[in-house]
Structure formats: C-alpha cells, structure tokens
C-alpha cells in the first residue's frame, strides 16, 4: 500500500484524477485481491514484452525451501505457488488451496490441532505433470528431513500424520495449536515431488539450478553474476501472466541501480530500492512513477538488557527521551520514513495506534536520570553504584545514514552525561554471533519482527528465545517479562483474529512501556517504475516487490 500515490512523477494530474474516477479511493489505497490493477487499461490478450527488475543483490538460491534472502523471493513468487498468499491488506487468500482453512469453515478443528486443506485440481507443473496433494505432503516432509538443508523449520516441525485423503485433499495433525502456521504457509512454496524424488542429492542438484514450479513464470536461464530470466507460463491457472519475459537484473551498487533506473536500462527498481537521498530527484523524473512504500521493518536500537546500565527502566526511558527522532527522520533520512512506537508494521491489522507518543526532551531525560540516582561523576558521565552510564553502539559499517544517525545521537546523549561510543562492524561480522548471542551493548539496525506477516513475535520477545541464555530464538535484546511470555503463548494458540488483536495490542503496550528497544522510525522504501508499467502493486506483507509479477503488463 502506497503512502503517496504515484502522482509525484510521470503521471499528470489529469491522469491521476481519471484513475481516481475509475478505481475509486479504495482502488487507490488498497488495490484488490491479488493486485488486480485499479487502472482503466486492460492487459493484452497474450503475453507481450519484457520487464527488467533491478536488484542490488544477486538472486542465487532457486530452491524456495533452502536458506535464502529477500532478494531471492521475487524468483520464488514468480515460479512457485504456495497453498496461500497474503495480499497487500494482510488478508490470507487461497493460492494452490481452494479455501483458507479456519475454525469457522471446519478446515481447522476447534482445538486447533487437526488441519484439513483442499487443493485445486486444475494446476499443472511447468513440465505438464498435474499438481496434487502428494506434492504438498512431499514438500512439508522435505522441510523437516534431516538430510535436507532447509530454511525455516518453525511450525513445520509441529506437523505430524500428514495424510493425502485424495489428490485434492490433505490432512495433518499439529503437535500443539499454532495459529501463525497459516501465515508461515504463505511463504512455503510447494515443490514437485515427481522431480525431486529422482534427484540423488537433495541439496545439490539440477532442480536447484533450473526449478520447476506451478507459477505464472517458467524458468528461462541464469547468467551468473548478471541476471535471471523467466518466461511466461501460458498454462498458468491464475490471473496472467501478461508479459513474455521477466528479468531479475543484478546491479551491485545502489547508486548505479538508481542511475540505470534513470537511464531506462531497468523498468523497475527492486530491492534495495531508491536510496532516500535520491528520492527528491527521482520524483521529478519524466515517465517514471515513484512512490513511498512502508516496509515491515522498524529501524531499531536494541538495548542489551543484561548490561548493568540498561537494567533500570529509567535509563532506557531517559535515552529514548534524549533521541531527536524527528531530526533523524527529516534531516538525515530526507523525510522518507515515518515515526512509530512499536515493532508492529503500521499496515498490519494488529498495529496498535494508541501507544504513548515519543517526545524529545533533554531536560526531562536529565531529570529522569537525576531522580533515579544516576548522577554525573568527576568525568561528567553519569554513574550509579559504580556503573558508568557509558556504552557502545554498533551498526553495519558503511551504512551511511545509520552512521550519521549514530553520531547525531552520540552528541545529544553527551549533553546529558551519557557516553556512547561507536563500534561498527561489517555486516557479515555484525550479524553472526555478535548479534545472535547478544554480545553488543546496543545495536542499531532495521529489524523485521514478524514472520510471514503473522503478529506472533515469540521469537523476538519471549524469554525462551534468548539465545545468549541458551534459548532458541532471536530475542537479542534479552528481554524477559513473564506477562509478555504468557500473552505470546496465548496469542500463538488463538486463531480468531479479533481475539488475537486484543492480545497483541497488550503486548505492544507492555513492550512500549518496558523499552527493550528504541524504535527510531518505521522503514519506508522508495519504489520506482516506468510509467508504462501497469498492474504493479506493492505488498508490505511480503518481502519482495515482485510478489505478483503475473499481474504486470505494458500500457
């Protein structure tokens, strides 16, 4: 969903007004299911033309069940289908399944343990073989096969007794009721049993280099280090595709990525999108549509709660009060991102808008520290019981905007007697053990809290998810609150969205009060594509701009 519709760039005002008349406000703010374009134009009868998507990282993993990054998702979403998809409004809709199971329609039993899913009977793999429930069973079993180098196994490990009732129906039993699994399945692409069964090696094989799926596009070829080429699947069961060729072009430098968007070499800027410093200029380019799209990630300063400085709430509150977020957003990030008080993306159904608003107030910050007994020592730095209010802040070295924000925060904190030193690391080092085992004092990064847009954040905030204390998740701030633990457990067992909403509102409230992390802003991407490209719809509930290339076409 776009914060500002594409009237900023190549579109004329008249055109925009026409669109509003044609699609209505709803069409503008939230394009319909599966991105049916709100534009008046109609797609061509047969696929024509080519779309080149520029990406700043190279897609290299084409087996969607193996560990991969955001950048690989565009290829996965185009070649494969999952049982369900999640649309831009955050609603889970059928993909290979006929309907989304719920307790209401009997697809999920009252206790949440028995799942029954009906799948389509009109789907064929790219090699012509019919798709059946056997493929679903094979996929779910492959993920937990110990010999297979699977990506995420959370949720999948709970699935037992998978039974293929008929080619169009499958059932299974969950070890415990686990509501987020439905969302996880929107990112679990189904792979062909008949192809993978014949592979001698599950991890290194021909399928991984030339995948066969059911999606709107078929594998074309890969020119290593340069691009991946997909071609239209004329037998696709769903809407589209309307373009003949879909290209994912690797452009390793963000400046060059933008330059090639300007020069017209690429039709659409994919990840890492247009950098904020180029936003103002990009918005003036002719024949280009440039929009701001909220991301699921929140720019965050994690406070390591096991460090003696941060154990006291007053300290965390004071630091938050002493951060001039507006200046960071407007002056350093060109006004592109937006303020937030929570980990929940704003576009989520579960976003709590009623949280206390942050205030930048150095006086108040100093006062909070004074009252809590953190008083300036001989060196001007506050201390209490022998603990100095000094800490290091780490972020990815070379991330210019973050480095500027750090220096800015460092200066303001110094004014109230807090010493922040900067200790940055290359990303390959930062996000290894240093991050996973909470070896930092404080860390700044863009954090995605949700998995597959489900509101469950057990992995980030539950006590048992603290890896540094032997836990199994990524609660890197080492945050522990029994009340939150209980709420999270309840939330993951609850299927009804309204009931869950109340639970996660409460979680957000407590986390906002406890401040295990300081939210700087909600990340926003600057998307850009040629004005002639129709049917493009962004979806913040997925990790890729190319989640629905099937709907794209040229005017």
Partner 1 sequence: MPAFLLSRFLQSAVLLVIVSIIGFTVLNLMPGGPLAQYGLDPGMTMDDMERLKDQLGLNRPIWVQYFDWAWRLVQGDWGTSFRDGTPVLSVIGRHLFATLLLMGSSTVIAIAVGTWIGIRGATHRYSLFDYVATIGAMVALSIPTFWFGLVGIYVFSLKLGWLPAGNMYTIGDGSVLNYLHHLIMPSVVLALVHIAIWSRYMRTATLDVISQEFVKTARAKGVTERRVLMKHVVGNALLPMITLAGVQLPSILTGALVTETVFTWPGMGRLFLDSLGYSDYPVVMGLLMFSAILTIAGNLIADIVVALVDPRIRLA
Residues that bind partner 1 (CB under 8 A): 50, 52, 58, 60-61, 63, 66-67, 69, 146, 149-154, 184, 187, 203-204, 208-209, 223-227, 229, 245, 247, 249-253, 255-256, 259-260, 262-263, 265, 426-436, 445-452, 459-460, 467, 471-474
Between CA 538 and CA 526 the distance in angstroms is 11
DSSP state of 205: S
Between CA 130 and CA 43 the distance in angstroms is 27
| Nearest distance, CB of residue 328 and partner 1, angstroms | 20
Q: Which of 129, 259 has the CB closer to partner 1? A: 259
**Continuous segment of H or E residues that includes residue 38:** none
Q: Which of 3, 472 has the CB closer to partner 1? A: 472
Indicate the SS3 state at residue 278. helix
Give the largest Cα separation in the chain, rounded. Answer: 78
Give φ, ψ of 176 to 5 degrees: -135, 160
| Nearest distance, CB of residue 446 and partner 1, angstroms | 8
Q: Which of 226, 371 has the CB closer to partner 1? A: 226
* Both tokens assigned to 390: 């000094």
Between CA 539 and CA 34 the distance in angstroms is 10
Q: Which of 124, 262 has the CB closer to partner 1? A: 262
| Nearest distance, CB of residue 200 and partner 1, angstroms | 14
Q: Which of 125, 248 has the CB closer to partner 1? A: 248
* Both tokens assigned to 85: 């998809």
The answer to whether the CB of 348 falls within 8 A of the CB of 450 is yes
Preceding peptide of 508 cis, ω within 30°: no
**From residue 167, how far is each of 128, 138, 156, 163 by CA, in Å?**
16, 13, 21, 11
Indicate the SS3 state at residue 84. strand
| Nearest distance, CB of residue 437 and partner 1, angstroms | 9
| Nearest distance, CB of residue 10 and partner 1, angstroms | 17
* Both tokens assigned to 375: 């008083």
First to last CA, the chain: 21
Q: How far is CA 249 from the centre of its chain?
A: 21
Q: Which of 151, 495 has the CB closer to partner 1? A: 151
Indicate the SS3 state at residue 528. strand
| Nearest distance, CB of residue 401 and partner 1, angstroms | 17
| Closest residue by Cα to residue 242 from 15, 64, 91, 41 | 41
Q: Which of 438, 538 has the CB closer to partner 1? A: 438
| Nearest distance, CB of residue 67 and partner 1, angstroms | 6
Q: Which of 256, 314 has the CB closer to partner 1? A: 256
CB atoms within 10 A of CB 531: 18
Vertex 476 angle, CA 471 and 479, to 5°: 80
Between CA 352 and CA 335 the distance in angstroms is 23
Dump the DSSP string for 138-168: HHHHHHT-TTS--S--TTGGGEEEEEEEETT
| Nearest distance, CB of residue 443 and partner 1, angstroms | 11
Q: Which of 272, 390 has the CB closer to partner 1? A: 272
Q: Which of 378, 428 has the CB closer to partner 1? A: 428
| Nearest distance, CB of residue 63 and partner 1, angstroms | 8
Q: Which of 164, 256 has the CB closer to partner 1? A: 256
| Nearest distance, CB of residue 249 and partner 1, angstroms | 7
In this structure, the dihedral spanned by the alpha carbons of residues 486, 489, 492 and 493, taken in order and rounded to 10 degrees, is -100
Between CA 200 and CA 210 the distance in angstroms is 16
Q: Which of 58, 81 has the CB closer to partner 1? A: 58
| Nearest distance, CB of residue 252 and partner 1, angstroms | 5
Question: Can you give 361-417 as a three-state secondary structure string?
Answer: CHHHHHHHHHHCCCEECCCCCEEECCEECEEEEECECCCHHHHHHHHHHHHHHHHCC
Between CA 275 and CA 337 the distance in angstroms is 12
Q: Which of 152, 506 has the CB closer to partner 1? A: 152
| Nearest distance, CB of residue 209 and partner 1, angstroms | 7
| Nearest distance, CB of residue 42 and partner 1, angstroms | 25
DSSP state of 86: E
């Amino acid at each position: 969903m776009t914060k500002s519709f594409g009237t900023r760039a190549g579109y004329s005002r008249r055109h925009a007004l026409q669109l509003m008349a044609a699609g209505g406000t709803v069409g503008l703010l939230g394009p319909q299911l599966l991105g049916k374009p709100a534009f008046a134009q109609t797609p061509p009868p047969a696929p024509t033309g080519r779309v080149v998507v520029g990406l700043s990282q190279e897609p290299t993993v084409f087996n969607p069940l193996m560990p991969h990054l955001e950048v690989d998702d565009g290829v996965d979403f185009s070649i494969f289908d999952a049982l369900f998809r999640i649309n831009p409004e955050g609603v889970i809709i059928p993909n290979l399944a006929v309907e989304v199971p719920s307790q209401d329609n009997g697809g999920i039993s009252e206790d949440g343990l028995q799942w029954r899913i009906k799948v389509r009977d009109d789907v064929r793999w790219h090699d012509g073989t019919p798709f059946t429930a056997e493929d679903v069973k094979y996929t779910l079993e492959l993920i937990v096969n110990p010999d297979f180098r699977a990506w995420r196994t959370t949720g999948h490990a709970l699935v037992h007794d998978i039974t293929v009732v008929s080619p169009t129906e499958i059932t299974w039993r969950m070890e415990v009721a686990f509501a987020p699994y439905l969302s996880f399945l929107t990112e679990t692409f189904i792979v062909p049993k008949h192809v993978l069964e014949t592979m001698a090696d599950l991890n290194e094989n021909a399928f991984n280099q030339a995948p066969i799926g059911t999606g709107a596009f078929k594998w074309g070829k890969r020119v290593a280090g340069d691009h991946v080429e997909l071609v239209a699947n004329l037998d696709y069961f769903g809407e589209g595709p309307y373009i003949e060729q879909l290209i994912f072009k690797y452009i390793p430098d963000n400046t060059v990525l933008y330059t090639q968007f300007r020069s017209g070499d690429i039709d659409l800027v994919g990840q890492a999108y247009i950098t904020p410093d180029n936003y103002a200029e990009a918005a003036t380019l002719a024949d280009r549509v440039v929009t701001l799209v909220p991301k699921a990630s929140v720019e965050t300063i994690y406070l390591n709660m096991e460090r003696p400085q941060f154990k006291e709430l007053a300290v965390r509150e004071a630091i938050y009060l002493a951060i001039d977020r507006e200046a960071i957003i407007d002056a350093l990030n060109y006004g592109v991102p937006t303020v937030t008080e929570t980990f929940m993306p704003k576009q989520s159904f579960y976003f709590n808008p009623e949280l206390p608003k942050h205030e930048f107030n150095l006086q108040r910050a100093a006062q909070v520290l004074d009252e809590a007994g953190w008083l300036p020592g001989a060196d001007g730095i506050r201390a209490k019981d022998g603990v100095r209010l000094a800490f290091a802040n780490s972020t990815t070295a070379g991330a210019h905007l973050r480095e500027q924000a750090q220096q800015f925060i460092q200066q303001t904190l110094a004014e109230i007697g807090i010493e922040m030193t900067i200790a940055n690391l290359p990303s390959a080092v930062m996000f290894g053990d240093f991050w996973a085992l909470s070896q930092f004092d404080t860390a700044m990064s863009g954090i995605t809290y949700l998995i597959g847009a489900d509101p469950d954040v057990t992995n980030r905030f539950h006590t048992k998810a603290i890896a540094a204390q032997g836990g199994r998740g990524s609660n890197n701030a080492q945050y522990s609150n029994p009340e939150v633990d209980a709420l999270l457990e309840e939330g993951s067992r609850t299927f009804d969205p309204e009931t869950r909403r109340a639970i996660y509102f409460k979680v957000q409230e407590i986390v906002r009060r406890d401040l295990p992390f300081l939210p700087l802003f909600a990340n926003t991407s600057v998307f850009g594509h040629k004005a002639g490209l129709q049917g493009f719809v962004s979806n913040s509930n997925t990790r890729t701009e190319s989640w629905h290339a099937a709907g794209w076409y040229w005017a």
